[in-house]
Amino acid sequence: HHAGGRAEYRPAFRGWSLLVLNIWNWERGTDMKILFASSEVAPFIKTGGLADVAGSLPKALAQAGHDVKVILPLYEGIGGEWRSQMTFLKYFNVTLSWRQVYCGVFSLERDGVTYWFVDNEYYFKRWQLYGHFDDCERFAYFSRAVIETPGQLDFWPDVIHCNDWQTALVPIYLLEEKYRIPQLGRAKSVFTIHNIEYQGRYGDQVLEDVIGLDKSYFNEGMLAYHDDVNLMKGAIMASDFVTTVSPTYANELKIPFYAHGMDGVINQQSGKVQGILNGIDMDLYNPATNPGLASNFTADDPVEGKLACKLALQRAVGLQENADVPIIACISRLVGHKGFSLVTDVLHQIMGMNVQMVVLGTGDWQFEEAFRNAQQQYPGRFSAQITYSGPLSTMIYAGADLFLMPSVSEPCGLSQMIAMRYGTVPIVRETGGLKDTVFPYNKFTGEGRGFTFADINANDMLWVIREAVDLYYNNKEAWRGLQKEGMTADFSWDHSAQQYLDIYQRIQG
């Protein structure tokens, strides 16, 4: 029978394909070629957490023995100290819809990673990274450059790892181009959502004219969202795998409250969605070696050093010098989704306890104003530092006793991990990465790393702040245990990098 013949033929064919695959894998070895695309990368240019991830994850992948290239725009804000180290590789024209656009590529090597900077002054010689009228066109151009550079530089990536809406077109362009550009033939795409709030939504008129894709991408729903073009939706649909920056956030994105309209798409594609916790640079945030501290200290013996840092902090920000009173700190953008309305709601009750408080950051005027007023009302006990300062943030991480992060949503959060490294005990709301990194103190077993509350409720927050302050004053032994747990926790990139590598290998299939 014809059908029977086909059934007999199949296993033999499968055996051959496995043999070919094994030879291919054996020839390749385990090292992978990874192209990492991001609109900002520390230490070159940074506005937020994305740059930290793009600065650290590729480094960890390279240390694991892989060939890693990172591609980013050459913005005006990238300083001369980096430009002087760059080598010009070549220039070519990138096709963007009906335009042929200049693209120059500069390269720089650092920590085993090669960085490719995409040069186009029309799009990138601007002081601010985002917020321009033509952002859609600027990042469509960057995404085209990401796709066309491997062919120009003869790089054969196994994985193109894209991040947030600015590179969301890359997985879609890859579907179109992988048959035209030999170097992309085996490339798979991974898309990481760092914050689902910013999706790259534009009117459908951008489709053909600006981003150069035909109407079918809209009509068949890959890019269509409430009659708009939604770049992030397209990336979730088109990529081989989607990650986000903590396991809890990955689950929260299935719920309308957190997903900003993308819950349907995430649920539909949930088979290829996974949360992987960001790491932090354990060397950079190390109280034993950090040069910016009044005194260095270790997890084994933090008391003296931490006290010196505390007194230095009190002097620096105008708090009364007092070794015994706990300092509660916030370092954040002062905006609604960081939970600051909870703080302003019960500020007087917090200050009614025997505590000091310092807030560092800028943001919405009503929060800035509330904290400035508190500084006048509680002189020497409340300090409002309405600014952004790297050196001051380090002093606060090291000198404070409690670190408050009552976020409404927090995809991953780095501050709570940094605070724990410095022996500063976190108080957080159980959301996103905060829930995945801060395990609540258990007074019966002594286990935990900090204090947590679940509901978006100022009184619940106040309750756990009271518990924390009470523990600080009345149970020094348990307090030291919490500090030690946080200081010795492994927040390095090694574990996260391994999880990404597992995904890269899984989608190679």
If pLDDT is split at 50, 70 and 90, which confidence band does 23 have? very low
- How far is 87 from 80, CA to CA, in rounded Å? 13
β-strands 113-119, 99-110: how paired? Answer: antiparallel
List pLDDT tens digits, range 146-175. 999 999 999 999 999 999 999 999 999 999
- Which long-range CB contacts under 8 A does 176-184 form with residues at least 24 apart? 176/213, 177/147, 177/148, 181/147, 181/148, 181/150, 181/151, 182/151, 183/150, 183/151, 183/154, 183/155, 183/156, 183/157, 184/147, 184/150, 184/151, 184/157
The pLDDT score that the predictor gives to residue 208 is: 84
Tokens of 502: 């597992």
List pLDDT tens digits, range 239-258. 999 999 999 999 999 999 99
Give Cβ neighbours of residue 376 (< 8 Å, ≥ 6 apart).
Answer: none
If pLDDT is split at 50, 70 and 90, which confidence band does 19 have? very low
The sign of the torsion formed by the CA atoms of 211, 212, 214, 217 equals negative
The pLDDT score that the predictor gives to residue 11 is: 40
The pLDDT score that the predictor gives to residue 174 is: 96
CA triplet 351, 425, 434: central angle to 5 degrees? 100
Tokens of 105: 């590529």
Under DSSP, the state recorded for 450 is B
DSSP-assigned states of every residue in 233-299: HHHHHHSSEEEES-HHHHHHTTSHHHHTT-HHHHHHTGGGEEE------TTTT-TTT-TTSSS---S
Three-state DSSP class for residue 474: helix
Instruction: For residue 110, count CB atoms less than 10 angstroms from its CB and return exposed for 0-12, middle for 13-18, buried for 19 or more.
Output: middle
Three-state DSSP class for residue 394: helix
β-strands 159-163, 188-193: how paired? Answer: parallel
List pLDDT tens digits, range 267-298. 999 999 999 999 998 888 999 998 889 999 99
- How far is 332 from 405, CA to CA, in rounded Å? 8
Average pLDDT value for the chain: 91
Three-state DSSP class for residue 105: strand
- How far is 222 from 40, CA to CA, in rounded Å? 26
List pLDDT tens digits, range 107-140. 999 999 999 999 999 999 998 999 999 999 999 9
The mean per-residue pLDDT over the stretch 171-194 comes to 95
Identify the CA nearest to 330 among candidates 321, 339, 320.
Answer: 339
Given a contact cutoff of 8 angstroms between Cβ atoms, the answer to whether 96 and 102 are in contact is no
Residue 313: count other Cβ atoms within 10 Å of its Cβ. 24
Given a contact cutoff of 8 angstroms between Cβ atoms, the answer to whether 160 and 191 are in contact is no
Evaluate if residue 9 carries a pLDDT over 70: no
Chain centroid to CA 262 = 19
- How far is 164 from 391, CA to CA, in rounded Å? 29
- How far is 87 from 106, CA to CA, in rounded Å? 5
If pLDDT is split at 50, 70 and 90, which confidence band does 30 have? low
Q: Which amino acid is at 55?
A: G
The pLDDT score that the predictor gives to residue 13 is: 42
If pLDDT is split at 50, 70 and 90, which confidence band does 457 have? very high
List pLDDT tens digits, range 385-428. 999 888 899 999 999 999 999 999 999 999 999 999 999 999 99
